[in-house]
A and B are shown apart, each in its own frame.
Chain A
Amino acid sequence: MDNITFANQFLNPRKYGNIILDLNPINRLNIFVALGISTFFVNNYWYGFALVLLFFVIAAVAGRLKRYFSVYWKVLLLFGLFLFVIKAAFSPGEHMIFQLAGIHISTESINSALSLISKVLSFSGAIVLFVQTTEWEDFTYALEHAGVPHVVSFVVLSSFQTISDLGKSAQVIMESQKARGIETDGNLVKRAKAYIPVMGPLVLNAISSVEEKSIAMDARAFSAPVAHTHLMELPEVTKSEKAFVVFIDLLLLATIIGRIVIWLL
Chain B
Amino acid sequence: MAFIELNDVTYTYPLMKEAALKNISYKFEKGKFYGVIGENAGGKTTLCNLLRGLVPHFYKGKLKGSATINGEDIKTIDVDKLSTQIGYIFQNPFTQISGVKKSVFEEIAIGLENLGVEKGEIIERVLKIAKLVNIESLLQKNPNELSGGQRQRVAFASVIAMDTDTFVIDEPTSQLDPDGTEAIFEIIHTLKEQGKTIVLVEHKVDLLAEYADEMLVMNKGNLIAGGPTKEVLSDLSLLEKGAMLPHTVLFNHELKLKGVELEHVPVTKEDCISQLKLRMK
Contacts and interface: CB of A to CB of B under 8 A. Distances in A.
Interface of A: 1, 3-4, 6-8, 10-11, 137, 153-154, 157-158, 161-162, 164-165, 209, 212-233
Contact of B90 (A158, A164, A212): A212
B81 interface: yes
Interface stretch (B32-40, B101-109, B180-188, B236-244): B101-109
A178 B81 CA distance: 49
B262 interface: no
A153 B83 contact: no
Contact of A158 (B99, B122, B139): B99
B140 A218 contact: no
B127 A216 contact: no
Nearest to B106: A231
Contacts of A161: 99-100, 144
Candidate in B83, B84, B105, B109 with the most chain A CB atoms within 10 angstroms: B83
A226 B106 contact: no
Contacts of B98: 154, 158, 216-217, 220
A231 B122 contact: yes
B114 A231 contact: no
Contact of A6 (B116, B139, B144): B139
Contacts, number: 127
B140 A1 contact: yes
29 contacts: A3-B139, A153-B100, A154-B98, A161-B99, A161-B100, A165-B99, A165-B144, A209-B95, A212-B92, A215-B58, A216-B95, A218-B79, A218-B83, A219-B87, A220-B83, A220-B111, A220-B159, A221-B162, A222-B83, A223-B80, A224-B84, A224-B115, A226-B115, A228-B114, A229-B122, A230-B119, A231-B106, A231-B113, A231-B123
Interface string B66-104: 000000000000111101100111101011101110110
A55 B264 CA distance: 83
A215 B90 contact: yes
Nearest to B59: A211
B54 interface: yes
Contact of B119 (A209, A215, A217, A229): A229
Contacts of B83: 218-224
Given A164-B144, A220-B83, 12 more contacts: A3-B136, A10-B119, A137-B100, A216-B155, A217-B98, A221-B80, A221-B115, A221-B162, A224-B114, A224-B115, A225-B80, A225-B81
A222 B96 CA distance: 12
A218 B118 CA distance: 20
Contacts of B116: 226-229
Contacts of B268: none
Contacts of B158: 220
Nearest to B91: A212
Interface in B116-145: 116-120, 122-123, 126-127, 130, 136, 139-140, 144
B139 A228 contact: no
Contacts of A228: 113-114, 116
Nearest to B49: A215
A3 B127 contact: yes
Given A212-B95, A220-B159, A227-B116, A157 B123 contact: no
Contacts of B102: 137
B20 to A, nearest CB: 15
A152 to B, nearest CB: 12
B84 A216 contact: no
B229 to A, nearest CB: 27
Contacts of B207: none
Contacts of A154: 98, 100
